Amino acid sequence: MNLMKVLHQNETMLNFTCQKLPKDPASIILQFGFLVCLVFLICGVPATAGAVEVPDVVGIPQSNAEAAIISSELSVGVVTSANSATVPIGEVISQDPAAGINVVSGSRVDLVVSGVTVPNVVGLAQAAAETAITAANLTVGTGTTANSATVPIGNVISQTPAAGTNVLPGNAVTLVISLGTAVPDLIGLTKAAAETAITAAGLTVGTGTTTNSATVPAGRVISQTPAAGSNVPPGSAVALVVSLGAKVPNVVGLTQAAAEAAIKSSGLTVGTVTTETSTTVPAGTVISQSPGAGTNVAPASAVTLVVSSGVVVPNVVGLTQTAAQTEITSANLTVGRVTKANSSSVASGKVISQNPAAGAKVEAGSAVALVVSLGAKVPDVVGSTKGSAQTALSTAGLKVGTVTSANSQTVAIGNVISQNPTAGSNVAPGSAVALVVSVGTAVPNVVNKSQAAAQAAIAGVGLTVGNVTSVFSDTVASGNVISQNPTAGTNVSPGSGVGLVISSGPPVLLMGVQNDPKTGPLVNSLYRLRTDGVVSKIGNLTHRTHGLAYVGSNLYSVEELTLAKQAGTPPNLYRLNPSTGATLATIRLSLSTGESLEGGRGLATEPGTNQLWGLLVVTSEVNTLRRLVTINPTTGVATQKAKLFGNFMDLAFDAAGTLYAITDNRPVSGGAVAPARIYTVNKTTGATTEFLNVSAGAVAGQPNFRESETIGVGSSPDLLYHLSGQHKVTSGFTKNILFEQIHRTTKARKAIALSGPDFFVTTALTLVPPTKTNTGTGTPALADLDASGTTDLIWQNTQDGSTAIWLMNGTTIAATGFPGGVPAAWRIAGVGDVNGDGKGDVIWRNSTSGTVAVWLMNGVSVTSVGFPGSASLAFEISGVGDVNGDEKADLVWRNRTDGSTAIWLMNGTTIAAPGFPGGVPMGWQIAGVGDVNGDSKADVIWRNGASGTVAVWLMNGLGITGVGFPGSASTAFEIAGVGDVNGDGKADLVWRNATDGSTAIWLMNGTTIAAPGFPGGVPLAWQISQVGDINGDGKSDVIWRNGRSGTVAVWLMNGASISSVGFPGSAPSDWEIQ
């Protein structure tokens, strides 16, 4: 390509460049260099290695031109289009760089191609637009749609490129097609706002309607047609449904609940609800509403209701029945059921209560039931205590009227015998009820009656015979009543026991004598001497007695001279059979000082303590003094208390405990004959005070020279008996012996003539204790520690082993004491009178060694302690009772290993005889010991723990005389105690249910249940601690202990019934009743 051609082709650029050249020389030089470079650029570079010549592509189709450029190792640059009147569409009009110029390989070649003018298709239907585009040698591009308020649906809103644009053939023309007008969202707008929005969208407001809505406020659009977002032709009509608001439903006549539900379902709220009475609209039904039914209101508006409360029930309480019925019917109601009832406050015939109550809202015509008063009903107070009766009457709205007293054989003291008006009567409230209150049964006067007649008289007035004892009497015939307790005329509870003291006739003394040695061999004998002078022989003695005394039921004799005196043998103490004089036991005497003894000169038993006292003679002091001693009848040990100077021959205690001693009238140590005198003696010092000179004032015709003076206690606290032997006559001995009664206070003397067999010298005298009887009087109280006839309570502290005693007088504590304590290994195993002195003793067992110990008791004091023996720890003491009838408690043992049994027959602190009755299987346990058949011998009661069966061994000492099976009981019941609760002389069984606290009693008759009973129940915190006669009425009572509070309670029993309840006191929980 030549330079001129190039310059021609680039003429315009050159002209521009030259026009812009600066006019100063320096600039001209600089810019000339630029032009040179530009020329090279335009015209190419000289052909050198690596240069490429631009091909000529003008006038050829675009595709061919681009292929030629690429094949020349160049690249296609910018391709533009231009209209040309000469160059066919699609062919190259021009190129840059021009053809023939050498350029660097890879350089760009720009092309101008003959182009197409884009047609105007706006406003055309889409189909027509696409036809026009393709006819213009163009293509339809990807189109879009859009809403338009002016362009009809389906027509072109706009195009790209725009109409008239020159583009390459085949270029795409994209179209925006009209969807028509989009319907605006009008829901919730006010009608005016909706219509404005419609016209603004190029639409028209169509025909509108109105309706109620529970959610859309009045005047606002509920719905529209077409729906919001719909595409419609511009100018299309949009129909509206406009809200009239919520429509108030008609709830009049509906129940309140139904009305409220209807209001809420209508999009409204329940406003204020008020009630008013109505005689036509049922209670709970809507009478009226506001706004009224059909009213259009804003959604959630409140609808107030007036609800019927129905008819208000009038208050007719306190009105007469007639007036009440009138009130009810006047209120458009009816009278319902009328019932009658007692009332402690409402007068007869008046309304006590109504249903429905006054003020209640009910439907018209509803029934009102009435309870009409019959007046106050008189309660049944017969048999109640006066206090309980008064409470019951007050509760019934009545008051106690006149109260009178009367005896009753059936109603307890203080309880109501009868009432007026009678129970169940209807009376005016506040009326008085007269009461007749029992003062109990008047005890009849049975003094001087025979025992049988007395018992009949007592039973005839509803009482029972209590403790019966026998004593001697100089004035009351044998078998007749000397005294009674309570005394005649005393008012007592029905069924109470009346204790009797029965005369055994004149007092009886036992005396030791020597028979006439001139009519036969010298015989030492035991005689019975009545205080009326009648003498009878009992039997011969093996020794010459010079002192007789009873300790309990045991008769002891001390010998004057031993049969082997010459050999220096000490004297003996003998235990005699008082019925025969036979020796039962021989106990060698020894003096605590160790001195040698010649013999004895008197015995006496101290009342209260049951201590045996004696006068002993030391060998070297036969005619000078006597030793005053206490004697242990078990061991024979005599403990010296004092020395008595003089020829003292006998001792005696009066009932008050005063000790008397009498001297012989023989000389002392060869001196002159001294009168026989009675002295009182200080037991501690031995000091004597003359009481009476018994030699002075002798009976006329009788010599004063007597020997073998003896004295004895009398049948009353004020009497002593004096017996003086005579040895200076040769015949008619009895007629020459002085027997007299001496009054202790006045010292008056009364001689008593003797009658009966002849005897020679008297050597001893003692009063026979009254025979104890128990005819229908219950069983003896084993725990009677003070011989008061009542059971006492002995306690042991589980912590320190100390003991305490409550001496009881009924439900009252008469006295308390603390005998002492023992080490922890010792536990109380039982209580019983082991020495026959009428006082319960305490039996101890050592849980470590098995040793048994006994406290001989006198009330709250321990008089002595003994240790009978010991047993294997496999054995335990299971019961205490007099199994052989000798009035001494014995010990019943059970072996916990092999089931064998053993018995110790006791004589004080000595085992008189042991025995082994037999054994039973281990399923059986000893439940108690008591005389169930009334033979005065305790029997053994067994219980089978598995079957509940009860068995009884009837005992006779160590032998079993019979076995019986009275019955069985639920294993929930346990035998809690054995005692004679009905005073028939037979032990009964007291049961306790460990599950529900109930109690039961089996009244026993041998091995048969005479009658069962159920006294009642108490809470399980209470446990039966003991069964014993606490009030001395001959009937065992039940002693309770509360394990929580420590309180003690007593049921005083009358058979299977509780006659009364008492609460003696309480003790801390670490003390237990034994």
Total Cβ atoms within 10 A of residue 32: 11
Predicted confidence at residue 18, as pLDDT, reads 43
Do residues 449 and 432 share a domain? no
Between CA 448 and CA 466 the distance in angstroms is 17
Do residues 811 and 679 share a domain? no
Q: Which one-letter amino acid corresponds to residue 254? A: L
- Model's pTM, two decimal places? 0.44
**Last residue in a domain, options 503, 521, 550:** 503
Segment (H or E) for 880: strand 875-881
Do residues 557 and 694 share a domain? yes
Q: What is the DSSP letter of 43?
A: H
Residue 339 lies in a domain: yes
Task: Judge contact between 541 and 581, C-beta under 8 A.
Answer: yes
Between CA 114 and CA 208 the distance in angstroms is 61
Total Cβ atoms within 10 A of residue 540: 13
Between CA 753 and CA 738 the distance in angstroms is 8
Predicted confidence at residue 693, as pLDDT, reads 87
Residue 515 lies in a domain: yes
Do residues 152 and 187 share a domain? no
Do residues 532 and 657 share a domain? yes
Between CA 697 and CA 841 the distance in angstroms is 47
| Residue 718 CA: distances (Å) to CA of 320, 604, 712 | 81, 17, 12
Q: How many domains does the structure of the chain reveal?
A: 9
CA angle 577, 706, 528 (to 5 degrees): 25
Two tokens, residue 345: 């406050």
Between CA 537 and CA 525 the distance in angstroms is 8
Between CA 657 and CA 639 the distance in angstroms is 19
* Residue 979 β-bridge partners: 988
Q: What is the pLDDT of residues 230-263, one digit of tens each?
A: 888 988 999 999 998 889 999 999 999 999 999 9
Segment (H or E) for 721: strand 719-725
Predicted confidence at residue 741, as pLDDT, reads 87
Catalogue the long-range contacts made by 581-587 (C-beta closer than 8 Å, 24 or more residues apart).
Answer: 581/525, 581/526, 581/538, 581/539, 581/540, 581/541, 582/539, 583/541, 583/542, 587/633, 587/634, 587/635, 587/636
Assign 3-class secondary structure to 644-683.
Answer: EECCEEEEEECCCCCEEEEECCCCCCCCCCCCCEEEEECC
Q: Angle of helix 11-19 relative to helix 25-43, nearest 10 degrees?
A: 170
Residue 585 lies in a domain: yes
Do residues 845 and 872 share a domain? yes
Distant-in-sequence, close-in-space partners of 846: CB < 8 Å, separation ≥ 6: 825, 826, 852, 853, 870
Half-sphere exposure for 490 (CA within 13 Å, toward CB)? 14
Residue 834 lies in a domain: yes
* Residue 831 β-bridge partners: 842
- Output the domain CATH number for residue 1055: 2.120.10.30
Catalogue the long-range contacts made by 225-228 (C-beta closer than 8 Å, 24 or more residues apart).
Answer: 226/183, 227/183, 228/183, 228/184, 228/185, 228/186, 228/187
Sign of the dihedral through C-alpha 810, 812, 816, 822: positive
- Output the domain CATH number for residue 290: 3.30.10.20
The four Cα atoms 254, 258, 261, 265 give a dihedral, to 10 degrees, of -60
Do residues 595 and 562 share a domain? yes
Q: Maximum distance among all alpha carbons in the chain?
A: 220
Predicted confidence at residue 11, as pLDDT, reads 44
- Output the domain CATH number for residue 525: 2.115.10
Distant-in-sequence, close-in-space partners of 327: CB < 8 Å, separation ≥ 6: 314, 316, 319
Do residues 322 and 368 share a domain? yes
Q: What is the pLDDT of residues 1026-1040, one digit of tens each?
A: 999 988 778 899 999
End-to-end CA distance of the chain: 154
Predicted confidence at residue 514, as pLDDT, reads 66
Between CA 727 and CA 513 the distance in angstroms is 12
Q: Which residues in the chain come in under a pLDDT of 70?
A: 1-49, 85, 514-522, 561-568, 622-623, 665-674, 696-708, 714-716, 725-736, 758-762, 770-782
User: Which among 1032, 901, 1014 has a CA at the least distance from the CA of 955?
Assistant: 901
Do residues 240 and 284 share a domain? no
The torsion angles phi and psi of 627, rounded to 5 degrees, stand at: -100, 120
**Last residue in a domain, options 128, 146, 181:** 181
**Last residue in a domain, options 394, 411, 439:** 439
Range of the domain at 12: 1-43
Do residues 175 and 189 share a domain? no
Coil, strand or helix at 699: coil
Residue 959 lies in a domain: yes
Residue 100 lies in a domain: no
> Counting every residue, how long is the chain?
1074
Residue 170 lies in a domain: yes
Two tokens, residue 806: 């409550």
Do residues 198 and 332 share a domain? no
Do residues 570 and 622 share a domain? yes
- The DSSP bridge pattern shows strands 286-290 and 351-355 to be unpaired
Kindly provide the residue ranges of all beta strands, DSSP E only, lying in 532-670, ordered along the sequence. Answer: 535-540, 545-551, 554-559, 572-576, 583-588, 590-591, 597-606, 611-618, 625-631, 637-645, 648-653, 659-663
Residue 958 lies in a domain: yes
Predicted confidence at residue 85, as pLDDT, reads 67
Coil, strand or helix at 8: helix
Question: Buried b vs exposed e over 993-1021: b needs ≥16 C-beta within 10 Å?
Answer: beeeebbbbbbbbbbebeeebebeebeee
User: Which among 614, 682, 683 has a CA at the least distance from the CA of 648?
Assistant: 614
Task: Judge contact between 512 and 526, C-beta under 8 A.
Answer: yes
Total Cβ atoms within 10 A of residue 292: 11
CA angle 802, 806, 812 (to 5 degrees): 155
Task: Judge contact between 182 and 229, C-beta under 8 A.
Answer: yes
